[in-house]
Structure 1
Amino acid sequence: METWFNLSLEKSFSVIFCINIFQVIPISIVDGMMRCAQHLLKDDELLLIYGPFRVHGEFSTDSNREFDATLRSAGIEEWGLKDVADLKKAAAKYGLELKEQIEMPSNNFSLICGRIGL
């Protein structure tokens, strides 16, 4: 077993809640978040990700398109709204799947991920 995290924490969390960070991080951090969730979440518990996302490459609103353009104007390549499909792909690598996608106020989404098959 890998020891990049404290083994005493393995499968000790009922929920991991991640708010408004995926728009300003590289997709590799998304991968790392899913990797952490795989080790830290109890078997039947959830990772909740909240924020603005693209869906199938499309922006859900003009304001999200504008927000993405503002983020990208900072000149940092990794900044910008991530696509739900990219999060699903990262989750699947670690035995997680998108259980529910909920539209929220202010053009955001709640993405609820859990272990595949549970």
Structure 2
Amino acid sequence: MSERLYSPSCDRNREPILAVLQQYFADRRRVLEVGSGTGQHAVHFAAAMPWLRWQCADQAEYLPGIRLWLDDAGLANTPAPLELQAVATPVPGFEPSPRSAADAGFDAAFSANTLHIMGWPQVRGFFAGLDAALADEATVAVYGPFNYGGEFSSDSNRAFDGWLKARDPASGVRDFEAVDALAAGIGLRLIQDVAMPANNRCLIWRRQA
């Protein structure tokens, strides 16, 4: 039987993240959350921002647990979660058609604490998938720890990076500059880099028409 998983960190960071999203997603309508995990963020953000249609997506193994959170919340703006995994090429089924239509694609995307879990090829795949999924002038928000100028921003992030690499050598805290370059490669321009609690950041990009 599937269980409704719980992450204490989601409860700790949801309010600071919500404050950022309420500002930058105020004029958005369709959000794709990549790596929804337990589903806790989805129900909290969708309840607080009812004007958004919040589309969860994650690997197949996480979908039953996400469904439990969505079903318990019973929100009208959270459709069934989609199976999605970061790969080196765009995922079939997410290509907006036609791309020029006003309502084509997702006009926002959100992901929290995912890029440091993925290997770097999957991080590239994350942005390749967004390239196919996003509408023109979409907004993208990514939350998590980042290095700047090749340096850790705190001792805690250095320790966290060591813990990640002990679990999976392909993972690790990502360099902001490298991630921003991938974003720029699909037409995203950084509009804000927000300092968050516990040495995390919330990076906000806007796609250029």
TM range (shorter): 0.7 to 0.9
**Cα RMSD, aligned residues only:** 2.1
Do residues 5 (structure 1) and 92 (structure 2) align?
yes
Q: Provide the residue aligned with 1:15 in structure 2.
A: 108
Q: Provide the residue aligned with 2:202 in structure 1.
A: 110
Do residues 61 (structure 1) and 123 (structure 2) align?
no
Gaps of 5+ in 1: none
Amino acid at match of 1:52: P
Which one has more relative contact order, counting CA pairs under 8 Å at least 6 apart?
1
Q: Provide the residue aligned with 2:169 in structure 1.
A: 77
Out of 28, 31, 36, the residue aligned to residue 121 of structure 2 is: 28
Segments of 4+ moved more than 6 angstroms: none
Give deviations 1:24-65, integer Å, cap 9, x for gaps.
Answer: 111222211212222222211211100011111111111111
State the distance in 2 between where 1:7 and 1:88 align: 22
Residue 4 of structure 1, CA deviation: 4.2
Which protein is richer in strand relative to its size? 1
Q: Provide the residue aligned with 2:130 in structure 1.
A: 37
Output the TM-score relative to the length of structure 2: 0.50
Residue 7 of structure 1, CA deviation: 5.4
Q: Provide the residue aligned with 1:100 in structure 2.
A: 192
1:51 to 1:44, Cα distance in 2 relative to 1, 3 A:
same
State the distance in 1 between where 2:198 and 2:94 align: 38
SS in structure 1 at match of 2:174: coil
Do residues 50 (structure 1) and 143 (structure 2) align?
yes
Q: Provide the residue aligned with 2:35 in structure 1.
A: none
SS in structure 1 at match of 2:130: helix
Larger Rg over CA atoms: 2
Gaps of 5+ in 2: 1-88, 98-103
1:14 to 1:73, Cα distance in 2 relative to 1, 3 A:
same
- Aligned-residue sequence identity (percent) comes to 31
Size of the aligned set, in residue pairs, is 115
Q: Is the 8 A contact 2:96 2:105 kept in 1?
A: yes
Output the TM-score relative to the length of structure 1: 0.84
